[in-house]
Amino acid sequence: MTEKNSPQTADLMNFVDLSNMDSMDALLGNETKSDFAEGSIIEGSIVEKRNDGVLVDIGYKAEGFVHSSEFRKWEEAKVGDKIDVFLEEIENENSMPELSMAKAYSIKAWEKVTKENAEGSIVKGVMKHRVKGGIIVDVDGVEAFLPGSQIDIGPVRNMDDYLGKEYEVKVLKINEDRHNIVVSRRELLEESMRDKRSSLLKDMAVEQIRAGVVKNITDFGVFIDLGGVDGLLHITDMSWGRISHPSEMMEVGQEVDVIILDIDYEKERVSLGYKQKSENPWEAVENKYPVGSIVKGRIVNIMPYGAFMEIEDGVEGLIHVSEMSWTKRITKAGEVVSVGEEIEAVVLDINKDNKKISLGLRQKERNPWEVLADKYPIGTKIKGKVRNMTSYGAFVEIENDIDGMIHVSDMSWTRKINNPTEVLKPGDEVEAVILDINPDQQRISLGLKQNEEDPWAQINELYKVGDIVTGKVSKVTAFGAFIELSNKIDGLIHISQISKDHVERVKDMLNIGDAVEARVIKVDNDERRIGLSIKAAKEDFTAAELKVAEEEYSAALKPGDEMVDMGEVFNDLDALDLKK
């Protein structure tokens, strides 16, 4: 870059003493540095256009240089154009003015923008480029900062989608000292949305059907954009039937028609319904599916306690595990049915208010317990195998996996049975008598002793006090010995009635299988006991002695005493004595 080189200037330089700079300044039009204020904007004129820029005459002794990159339309720049430049330095290292057209433009733009627009103003800006945390926006030549959170109402996934586009923005903050402007596009959008939402809410009405787009799906429902207002479609208002999650029915972006259930104008909330567009199917269930009717459906869900069967869209019934079989004990519904299976069931009960229908599978067939009640009247004899035993009885299979129970009290007329294993064992074939059939409770009572007549019905004819009887020892206990008499009746010889002499232990005197002759000293019909005495069996035993023996026996065994239990206690004591 060179100084002015006009012919007149060249001639003067040949005759003037260059060491006298004051004289030189005078010859050059009396120009001094003080006439130009650094940091100011000066108008200049393009005097030469080069490939990389232009020379600008600002009235100083030397021209300044402005690079082509500072021109917005470099191709249109030409010699003679007037331009404003910013004087950064009157003389740089090349003794030329340091000029900037961009800075001049920026300062003028800043003054214009800030003068015409205050905080809160709405201006147009072009999205220039991304920076950390947001986008730089060109507002009439001034760079403003648009934070990422202020670009749009929702989250912005890609800021590059906005670059190069022009939008209206709101001036949030102007910092004169830093020449900084912060703008927001979101505030304008929200204001627009508020106005649009208010207008849209006024246009809405309850029971009105509106078109919308699924915007978001949560566990509790679906948010639907109604064109500026979001409404909530709760999961309970999506279907008359049962759904586990809203995503089973809808997906994001889906267009859907919904009905308005409620509007809160103050909070600007809208409640929506989908199932309400159709008639509630539960209103007609009692007429369509009367109790006792057979319905067809599909298993849609299985729980441990039962299976849910869809009868029609929105109507489901529960088949409880207890209603799946008459004879088998079902612990899990999955043992009988599976999801997706088409089946038939019987309607057992309908609770329209609570939207519940009870269904049954076993009711499709007649209750086998009722069939057995007809087939086997009370008193009928049956044959079966002992399948299972408990401490209180034995279960005998009758037919079709149905068991009847023989209670220990119905196993013998004459013996007290404490455990069924004393008489039966699993696998035994037995003949028993039907005592009772209760279809409701699914119980059948059987009797073993009822196969024979009760010998105690004729006990007074068979045995009288004073009679001499014979028998064999069937059981020995600590308190006496049981003697098996005729008619399967046992008599008890108490330890006090074995001998006139003191007897320490029964087993020292009597053993199982021993033949015994004894006298009947007591017949107790209520307790079903026959008291025997060996010491009273002698021929010269008097009536008085007989009475004394009966009193001893009665005192030893009070009414209601459990003889066998007592025996077990005494046996335990004997065992302890043996160990000693």
Average pLDDT on 520-529 reads 85
SS3 331: coil
**By mean pLDDT, which of 69-78, 193-202, 558-567 is the weakest?**
558-567
Neighbours of 477 (CB within 10 A): 21
**What b/e readout covers 74-97, taking b as 16+ CB neighbours within 10 angstroms?**
eeebeeeeebebbbeebbeeeebb
Q: Is the pLDDT of residue 26 over 70?
A: no
Per-residue model confidence (pLDDT) at position 32: 53
Query: How far does CA 190 lie from the centroid of its chain?
Result: 37
Distance, CA of 568 to chain centre: 57
Q: Counting Cβ atoms within 10 Å, is residue 451 exposed (0-12), middle (13-18) or buried (19+)?
A: exposed
Reduced to 3 states (helix: H, G, I; strand: E, B; else coil), residue 319 is strand
Bridge partners of 73?
A: none
Domain boundaries, the chain: 7-106, 117-189, 204-277, 281-364, 368-451, 462-578
Produce one character per residue of 403-433: b if its CB has 16 or more CB atoms within 10 Å, e if not. bbbbbbebbbbbbebeebeebbeeeeebebb
Q: Is the pLDDT of residue 343 over 50?
A: yes
> Domain 7-106 is in which class?
mainly beta
Tokens matching residue 360: 């049954």
* Per-residue pLDDT at 33: 58
Per-residue pLDDT at 88: 87
CATH class entry, domain 368-451: mainly beta
Report the percent of the chain where pLDDT is more than 70: 90
Would you state the pLDDT for residue 440?
81
pLDDT at 577: 40
Same fold, 204-277 and 281-364: yes
- Domain 281-364, CATH homologous superfamily name and number: Nucleic acid-binding proteins (2.40.50.140)
pLDDT for 166-216, tens place per residue? Answer: 998 888 888 888 878 898 998 888 887 777 777 888 888 899 999 999 999
pLDDT of res. 101: 87
Residue 342's pLDDT band (boundaries 50, 70, 90)? Answer: very high
The whole-number pLDDT of residue 94 equals 87
Neighbouring C-alpha atoms within 13 Å toward the C-beta of 463: 27
Instruction: Determine the pLDDT at residue 561.
Output: 47
Fold annotation for 462-578: OB fold (Dihydrolipoamide Acetyltransferase, E2P) (2.40.50)
Mean pLDDT, rounded, for 396-401: 84
Confidence check: pLDDT of 393 > 60: yes
- C-alpha torsion sign, points 559, 445, 330, 245: negative
Q: pLDDT value at position 79? A: 92
Residue 358 has φ and ψ, to the nearest 5°, of -95, 130
- Residue 580 has a pLDDT of 36
| pLDDT: which is higher, 160 or 574 | 160
Sign of CA dihedral 279, 280, 281, 282: negative
pLDDT average, residue stretch 533-560: 78
Instruction: Tell me how far the alpha carbon of residue 294 is from its chain's centroid.
Output: 32
Residue 9: strand, helix, or coil: helix
pLDDT of residue 5 exceeding 70: no
Predicted confidence (pLDDT) per residue in 447-465, tens digit: 998 888 887 877 888 888 8
pLDDT of residue 559: 55
Run of H or E including 101: helix 101-116
What CATH superfamily classification does 117-189 receive? Nucleic acid-binding proteins (2.40.50.140)
Domain 204-277 fold is OB fold (Dihydrolipoamide Acetyltransferase, E2P) (2.40.50)
pLDDT (0 to 100) of residue 193 = 77
pLDDT of 576 over the 50 cut: no
Residue scoring higher pLDDT (121 or 246) = 246
Q: Given pLDDT bands bounded at 50, 70 and 90, which one contains residue 143?
A: confident
Residue 407 scores a pLDDT above 50: yes
Mean pLDDT of 260-280: 88
pLDDT value at residue 28 = 44
Which comes out higher in pLDDT, residue 261 or 115? Answer: 261
pTM of the model: 0.45
Please count the CA atoms within 13 angstroms of the CA of 477 that sit on its side-chain side: 18
Read off the amino acid at residue 510: L
pLDDT, residue 29, reads 44
- Residue 411 and residue 419 in contact, taking contact as beta carbons nearer than 8 Å: no
558 pLDDT tier (thresholds 50, 70, 90): low
Residue written as tokens 């030189």? Answer: 24
Which of these, 83, 178, 101, 177, lies nearest to 141 by C-alpha position?
101
Mean pLDDT of the chain: 83
> For the chain, how are helix, strand and coil distributed in percent, rounded to 5?
25, 35, 35
In order, the DSSP letters of 130-166 are: EETTEEEEEETTEEEEEEGGGS-SS--S-GGGGTT-E
